[in-house]
Chains A and B, each alone.
Chain A
Amino acid sequence: MRYALRAPTYVGMALVHAYRWTFGVLWGGSCKYHPSCSQYALDALRHYGLVRGSILTGWRLLRCNPWSHGGVDYARDQRLFR
């Protein structure tokens, strides 16, 4: 039952993996943050569920732009949802 409720989250995580194995490798995407955006997405989804995890991931992706400075940034250190 618990796993059934988490099904949407798993779908989201599967999507991230799908990205990793297609466009991720194709474009050689590497990230200025540690962990990388896709790893961050997986962590965020695992810990915060589909909705909050997706929001966190979206925010992270927006931060991963050419004008930011990168750095160490774990999903568990987020301050959006407390």
Chain B
Amino acid sequence: MILHLILLSPLTPIEDLLRHVLNWFHGSVGLTWAWSIVALTVTVRLLLVPLTVRQIHSMQNLQRHAPQMKEIQKKYKNDKKRQQEELMKFYRENQINPAASCLPLLAQFPVFIALYFVLREFSKHPPGGNLSWLGHNFVPDITAHANAHWSGYLLLAVYVASQLVSTMLMSSTMDRTQRIMLMVLPVVFVTFLLNFPVGLVIYWVTTNLWTVGQGLITRRLMPKPQAPERRSSRSPSKETEPAPAPAPAEPAPAPAAAPAEPRRVKRKKKKARR
């Protein structure tokens, strides 16, 4: 009850907004409720695209500085905490904007919760109109629980698959345990999702598929030329033919020298933000 209050009161405006957008998609655009949910999800994700673009840029930036960061990681191999701190310091000194940040993630959080409440209200007071999706034989009622019909299970399977794919797509940026956890958890979550309204599962599948698509495009856009540079620093593994001689002894071709122009080193001194 308290949790409900804490979560709900600040969310009411978002909830109202989402309900309005949903109603608009249904009433004015003429989509079914299920497609309205999909449209709403896509809208939210579209609004988040600028953030993603920024993330791509910062990922490229990270890639450029990867050798130095590896160095730091090696230096403090035995002290994870210190390592983290040094890395963070390095980020700041080099004006690197790490890809991850909490706010965009959290931006999805209220949307999800609000959508949950909106859809829960749906199932309590079903609105008029078409509540099926992709034909009455596939998803008869999006307000019903996911385990009420075989299509719910199918959607959940799609959800798990998309989650796994998106984990694999971004796997290069995380460590092993995190990856394994992300692989196992969707399966655990499915047990909860079984009791969620199908509409919510549709939201989840849509947003996940969007993530996968975005990941694929990002992969395409991410320039690979960084790879040879990284290879030159150590591990000549791939370059077997051109360099058979034990060349790695030569004085490492200054990994820091990558960018041609000085890419505006300092912006405003430190000046103690916040």
Query: Which residues does A use to contact B, with CB under 8 Å?
Result: 11, 15, 23, 25-34, 36-37, 59, 61-72, 79
Shortest C-beta distance, B106 to chain A (Å), equals 6
Shortest C-beta distance, A53 to chain B (Å), equals 15
What residue in chain A is nearest B184 (Cβ atoms)?
Answer: A25
State the CA gap A66–B54 with chains docked (Å).
7
28 contacts between A and B (CB under 8 A): A11-B2, A25-B185, A26-B189, A28-B167, A28-B170, A28-B174, A29-B100, A30-B100, A32-B91, A32-B102, A33-B88, A34-B88, A36-B102, A59-B274, A66-B58, A66-B97, A66-B101, A67-B97, A68-B101, A69-B95, A69-B96, A69-B97, A70-B88, A70-B91, A70-B97, A70-B98, A70-B101, A72-B88
Instruction: Kindly list the 4 A-B residue pairs having the minimum CB-CB distance in the complex, ordered from nearest.
Output: A64-B102, A32-B98, A30-B100, A71-B92
State the CA gap A23–B167 with chains docked (Å).
15
Is the pair A71, B105 in contact by a Cβ cutoff of 8 Å? no
State the CA gap A68–B99 with chains docked (Å).
11
State the CA gap A13–B106 with chains docked (Å).
17
Shortest C-beta distance, B84 to chain A (Å), equals 5
State the CA gap A6–B106 with chains docked (Å).
27
State the CA gap A63–B112 with chains docked (Å).
22
Is the pair A31, B189 in contact by a Cβ cutoff of 8 Å? no
Q: Does B181 count as interface, using CB distance less than 8 angstroms?
A: yes
Residues of B contacting A: mostly: helix
Q: Does B103 count as interface, using CB distance less than 8 angstroms?
A: yes
What residue in chain A is nearest B91 (Cβ atoms)?
Answer: A70
State the CA gap A12–B55 with chains docked (Å).
30
Is the pair A23, B109 in contact by a Cβ cutoff of 8 Å? yes
Q: Does B85 count as interface, using CB distance less than 8 angstroms?
A: yes
What residue in chain B is nearest A38 (Cβ atoms)?
Answer: B102
What residue in chain A is nearest B81 (Cβ atoms)?
Answer: A34
A contact residues around B88 at 8 Å (CB): 32-34, 70-72
Q: What is the 8 Å Cβ interface bit string for chain B, positions 167-210, against chain A (1 contact, 0 not)?
A: 10010001000100110011001000000000000000000000
Most chain A C-beta atoms within 10 Å of own C-beta, residue among B3, B58, B85, B102? B102
* Further contacts, 4 of them, CB under 8 A, given A66-B58, A68-B273: A11-B2, A26-B185, A61-B102, A66-B51
What residue in chain B is nearest A37 (Cβ atoms)?
Answer: B102
A contact residues around B185 at 8 Å (CB): 25-26
Q: Known contacts A32-B101, A79-B274: does B92 contact A69 (CB below 8 Å)?
A: yes
What residue in chain A is nearest B182 (Cβ atoms)?
Answer: A28
A contact residues around B89 at 8 Å (CB): 71-72
Is the pair A65, B103 in contact by a Cβ cutoff of 8 Å? yes
